[in-house]
Amino acid sequence: MAIYAIGDLHLSHGLDKPMDIFGPEWAGHTEKIKENWQRVVREKDLVIVVGDISWAMHLYEAAEDLRWLSDLKGTKVIVRGNHDYWWSSISKVRKELPPSVFALQNDHFVWGDYAVCGTRGWICPGEEGFDSDRDQKIYLRETQRLRLSLESAVRSSSSTLIVAIHFPPFPRRGWQSAFTELLEEYGVAACVFGHIHDSGRDYIFQGERNGVRYYFAAADGISFTPLKLVE
pLDDT digit string, tens, across residues 210-225: 999 999 999 999 999 9
Contact 188, 162 (CB under 8 A): yes
Contact 47, 4 (CB under 8 A): yes
Q: How far apart are CA 183 and CA 171, in angstroms?
A: 15
What is the separation of C-alpha 150 from the centre of its chain, rounded to a whole number of angstroms?
16
pLDDT at residue 92, rounded to an integer: 98
What is each CA distance from 116 to 21, 102, 146, in whole angstroms?
Answer: 33, 11, 11
Helix (H, G, I), strand (E, B) or coil at 177: coil
If one counts every other C-beta atom within 10 angstroms of the C-beta of residue 223, the result is: 10
pLDDT at residue 21, rounded to an integer: 66
Domains and CATH numbers, the chain: 3-230 (3.60.21.10)
Q: How far apart are CA 121 and CA 138, in angstroms?
A: 8
**Beta-strand (E) ranges in the chain?**
3-6, 46-49, 75-78, 101-103, 108-111, 114-119, 160-165, 190-193, 207-209, 212-216, 227-230
For the chain, give the mean pLDDT. 95
User: What's the predicted TM-score (pTM) here?
Assistant: 0.96
Contact 4, 73 (CB under 8 A): no
What letter represents residue 35's amino acid?
Answer: E
How much is the average pLDDT of 80-107? 97
pLDDT at residue 48, rounded to an integer: 99
Q: Where does 106-214 have alpha helices with state H?
A: 136-155, 178-185
